[in-house]
């Protein structure tokens, strides 16, 4: 066999079926795909499009209820589907590496990260214990973890998300595999970290001659990093070709919609008009500060960690104010203080004329009516034992709004407002998709006719097409109901689309404020420039 002329991986007509309680579901439909040795192929599609299933099938790690119904997977001349489980174990990790998606859940919490890397060597018997340890430390160093020898003995919870993802990359590349499957390797990370890690990943795989299948929902990222882009929709491959070509002139209808919906720094803003200076602000936060007590050392000497440091901003009526920043910048803590879910250590928050930090009793309850939150995770934000109707109705019951019959009517109206059929009222959250659940969360937030809605990463977990729908819905509701939004996000492109005013936060402080045009076209602060530069643009 000559690897120069033959593809490293050849998938032909592969179909995968999952057995579910509602009958068989075909997750992958006659997909064909080839990867040349050393090449990088991006597999793009929304969640549920079958891209992860396809890679699981080729690695033979499908969930218990899934099976391959037709097709073949040929890797370096070997038919992987015909191998025994034991033979396949010899290939996994040694010739086909995997970098999984979520760095938080993919490491065993009870074993040191070093052990989790070195065991790749010991199970394949390529090195003894001491040698495996030495190599693991070398790998930690290679993936950019400083002080590798000390980090070797640390546990996953002692490392940041970015560090953990680097550990997972080290595991995937430990045996210098010929193929690496990187399943959304950076989607859980901040943009600046994402850029660094992807740069490292590319240079490592290039130096090892490793081919990469990169699974991602981010088209721009795919175009920037891959030679070849493969687009999947509903289990089928709808388009494939050289990266630049697919992005520039997509042939398939679905690809076109995907490209159109993806927010980028060139996307047009959904809102119009600058902030009206004359109207009195609905919310005014002044020198907002939040300290957390910390304990360190054996004596447990108390110190403080300042999560939010003298942050000031105003939210005018009927406008959207965005706070952007990376994880740990203090943006969510700020949101929680505005919601009075957390008390400020210092500073004032005025809602109309009331000092929010001093509200109690009836006044606090009335404040809670007027300010409603929508959180990030649409899966965790709804009680799985409550129907959709009950979830939306609950705030009405708590605040005893109208008669029971009126509340029922209101639920129907709210569902219609967020473009859901009233019949959804009797369904349970697990019957809904992520986007539909986020609509429910928004409907619930609107139930009490609030004046301010605090959206903390409310669209971050959604696919681009759904995200675009929700953003349009938010803008539409703002125009019709005169709502004000505090929009918290790490995604600058999204913030640009929806906000009138933007504040950039770093380490608890607002480093730059301005209109979207000012921030994006003429960033002043160094950090803002770094953030903007790190966003994938689709240009390799």
Partner 1 sequence: MLRYTLKRLAIMPLLLWGIVTIAFFLSHSISSNPLASIVGTRNLGNADVVAAATQRWGLDKSLLQQYFIYIGNLLHGDLGTSFRTKEPVASDLSSRLPATLELALFALIIAVVLGIVLGVVAARNNGRLLDGALRTVALVGSSTPVFWVALLLLFVFYARLGIAAGPGRLSSRVDPPPHFTGMYTVDSLLVGNFPLFSDALSHLILPSIVMALPLLGTVIRMVRAQVLEEQSSDFVRTARAKGMTPSQVTNRHVVKNAITPVITVVGISVGMLIMGAVMVETIFTWNGIGTYAVEASRSLDFPAITGVCLVGGVIFLVSNLVTDIAYAIIDPRVRL
Q: Which is nearer to partner 1, 50 or 93 (CB)?
A: 93
- Shortest spacing between CB 231 and partner 1, in angstroms: 25
- Shortest spacing between CB 43 and partner 1, in angstroms: 17
Q: Which is nearer to partner 1, 133 or 393 (CB)?
A: 133
Q: Which among 23-31, 152-160, 276-284, 455-463 is the span making contact with partner 1, rule CB under 8 A?
A: 152-160
Element (H, E) at 301: strand 301-316
Instruction: Compose the 157-186 pattern: x for residues touching partner 1 by CB under 8 A, - for all others.
Output: xx---------x--xx-x------------
Q: Which is nearer to partner 1, 157 or 539 (CB)?
A: 157
- Shortest spacing between CB 221 and partner 1, in angstroms: 22
Q: Which is nearer to partner 1, 11 or 238 (CB)?
A: 11
Residues 77-116 interacting with partner 1 (rule: CB under 8 A):
85-86, 89-94, 97-98, 100, 102, 105-111
Residues 183-202 interacting with partner 1 (rule: CB under 8 A):
none
- Shortest spacing between CB 328 and partner 1, in angstroms: 19
Q: Cβ distance 165 to 107 under 8 Å?
A: no
- Shortest spacing between CB 236 and partner 1, in angstroms: 25
Q: Which is nearer to partner 1, 85 or 278 (CB)?
A: 85
H helices, E strands: number in the chain: 19, 20
- Shortest spacing between CB 182 and partner 1, in angstroms: 12
- Shortest spacing between CB 34 and partner 1, in angstroms: 22
Which contacts qualify for 110-114: CB closer than 8 Å, 24 or more apart? 110/155, 111/155, 112/152, 112/153, 112/154, 112/155, 113/140, 113/151, 113/152, 113/154, 113/155, 113/156, 113/159, 113/164, 113/167, 114/140, 114/151, 114/152, 114/153, 114/154
Strands 78-79 and 23-35: unpaired
Three-state secondary-structure class, residue 81: helix
Burial 45-84 (b: 16+ CB within 10 A, else e): bbebbbbbbbbbbbbbebeeebebeebebbbbeeebeebe
Out of 123, 208, 346, 477, the only residue in the binding site for partner 1 (CB under 8 A) is 123
CA separation for the pair 367, 531 (Å, rounded): 35
Residues 276-305 interacting with partner 1 (rule: CB under 8 A):
298, 300
Out of 42, 44, 58, 120, the only residue in the binding site for partner 1 (CB under 8 A) is 120
Under DSSP, the state recorded for 65 is T
Residues 299-338 interacting with partner 1 (rule: CB under 8 A):
300
- Shortest spacing between CB 94 and partner 1, in angstroms: 6
Number of residues that bind partner 1 (CB under 8 A): 35
Instruction: Compose the 29-68 pattern: x for residues touching partner 1 by CB under 8 A, - for all others.
Output: ------------------------------x-x-x-----
Residues 490-529 interacting with partner 1 (rule: CB under 8 A):
none
Q: Which is nearer to partner 1, 172 or 330 (CB)?
A: 172
Count of residues making up the chain: 540
Q: Which is nearer to partner 1, 84 or 360 (CB)?
A: 84
Q: Which is nearer to partner 1, 132 or 237 (CB)?
A: 132
Three-state secondary-structure class, residue 172: helix
3-state helix, strand, coil in the chain (%, to 5): 40, 25, 35
- Shortest spacing between CB 378 and partner 1, in angstroms: 20
Output the CA–CA distances (angstroms, integers) from residue 92 to 22, 105, 297, in the order listed. 32, 20, 42
Q: Which is nearer to partner 1, 106 or 438 (CB)?
A: 106
Separation of CA 210 from chain center:
27
Dig out the tokens for 35 from the structure. 């990867």
Q: Which is nearer to partner 1, 302 or 405 (CB)?
A: 302
First vs last C-alpha separation in the chain: 33
Q: Which residue has the tokens 């500073």?
A: 347
Q: Cβ distance 50 to 56 under 8 Å?
A: no
CA separation for the pair 450, 257 (Å, rounded): 34
Q: Which is nearer to partner 1, 80 or 396 (CB)?
A: 80
- Shortest spacing between CB 52 and partner 1, in angstroms: 11
Count CB atoms within 10 A of the CB of residue 348.
15
Element (H, E) at 40: strand 40-44
Residues 406-445 interacting with partner 1 (rule: CB under 8 A):
none
Residues that bind partner 1 in the complex, under the rule CB under 8 A: 59, 61, 63, 85-86, 89-94, 97-98, 100, 102, 105-111, 119-120, 123-124, 155, 157-158, 168, 171-172, 174, 298, 300
């Amino acid at each position: 066999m000559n690897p120069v002329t033959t593809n490293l991986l050849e998938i032909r007509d592969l179909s995968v079926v999952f057995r579910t309680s509602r009958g068989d579901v075909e997750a992958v439909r006659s997909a064909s795909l080839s990867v040349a040795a050393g090449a990088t192929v991006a597999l793009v599609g929304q969640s549920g499009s079958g891209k992860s299933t396809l890679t699981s099938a080729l690695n033979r790690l499908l969930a218990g209820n899934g099976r391959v119904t037709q097709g073949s997977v040929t890797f370096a001349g070997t038919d992987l589907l015909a191998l025994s489980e034991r033979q396949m174990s010899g290939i996994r990790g040694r010739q086909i590496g995997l970098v999984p998606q979520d760095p938080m859940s993919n490491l065993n919490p009870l074993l040191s990260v070093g052990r989790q890397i070195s065991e790749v060597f010991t199970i394949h018997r390529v090195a003894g214990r001491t040698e495996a340890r030495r190599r693991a430390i070398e790998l930690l160093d290679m993936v950019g973890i400083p002080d590798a020898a000390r980090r070797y003995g640390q546990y996953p919870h002692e490392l940041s998300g970015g560090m953990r993802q680097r550990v997972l990359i080290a595991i995937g590349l430990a045996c210098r595999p010929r193929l690496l499957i990187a399943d959304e390797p950076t989607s859980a990370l901040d943009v600046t970290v994402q850029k660094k890690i992807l740069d490292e990943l590319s240079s490592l795989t290039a130096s090892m001659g490793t081919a990469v299948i990169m699974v991602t929902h981010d088209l721009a990222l795919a175009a920037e990093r891959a030679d070849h882009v493969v687009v999947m929709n509903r289990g089928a491959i709808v388009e494939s070709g050289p990266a630049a070509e697919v992005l520039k002139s997509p042939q398939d209808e679905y690809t076109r919609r995907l490209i159109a919906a993806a927010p980028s720094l060139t996307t047009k803003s959904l809102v119009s008009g600058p902030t009206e200076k004359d109207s009195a602000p609905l919310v005014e936060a002044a020198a907002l500060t939040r300290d957390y007590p910390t304990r360190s050392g054996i004596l447990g000497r108390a110190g403080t960690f300042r999560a939010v440091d003298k942050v000031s901003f105003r939210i005018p009526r009927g406008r959207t104010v965005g706070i952007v920043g990376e994880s740990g910048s203090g943006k969510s803590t700020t949101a929680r203080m505005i919601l009075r879910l957390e008390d400020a250590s210092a500073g004032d928050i005025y809602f109309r004329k009331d000092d929010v930090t001093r509200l109690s009793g009836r006044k606090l309850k009335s404040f809670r009516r007027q300010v409603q939150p929508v959180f990030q995770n649409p899966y965790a934000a709804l009680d799985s034992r409550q129907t959709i109707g009950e979830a939306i109705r609950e705030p009405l019951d708590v605040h005893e709004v109208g008669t029971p019959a009126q509340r029922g009517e209101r639920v129907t109206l709210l569902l219609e407002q967020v473009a859901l059929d009233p019949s959804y009222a009797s369904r349970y959250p697990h019957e809904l998709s992520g986007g539909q659940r986020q609509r429910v969360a928004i409907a619930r937030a609107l139930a009490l006719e609030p004046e301010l809605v605090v959206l903390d990463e409310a669209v971050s977990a959604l696919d681009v097409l759904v995200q675009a729908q929700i953003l349009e819905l938010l803008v539409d509701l703002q125009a019709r109901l005169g709502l004000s939004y505090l929009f918290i996000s790490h995604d600058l492109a999204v913030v640009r689309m929806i906000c009138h005013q933007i504040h950039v936060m770093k380490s608890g402080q607002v480093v730059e404020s301005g209109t979207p045009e000012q921030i994006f076209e003429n960033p002043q602060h160094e950090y803002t420039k770094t953030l903007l530069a790190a966003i994938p643009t689709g240009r390799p």
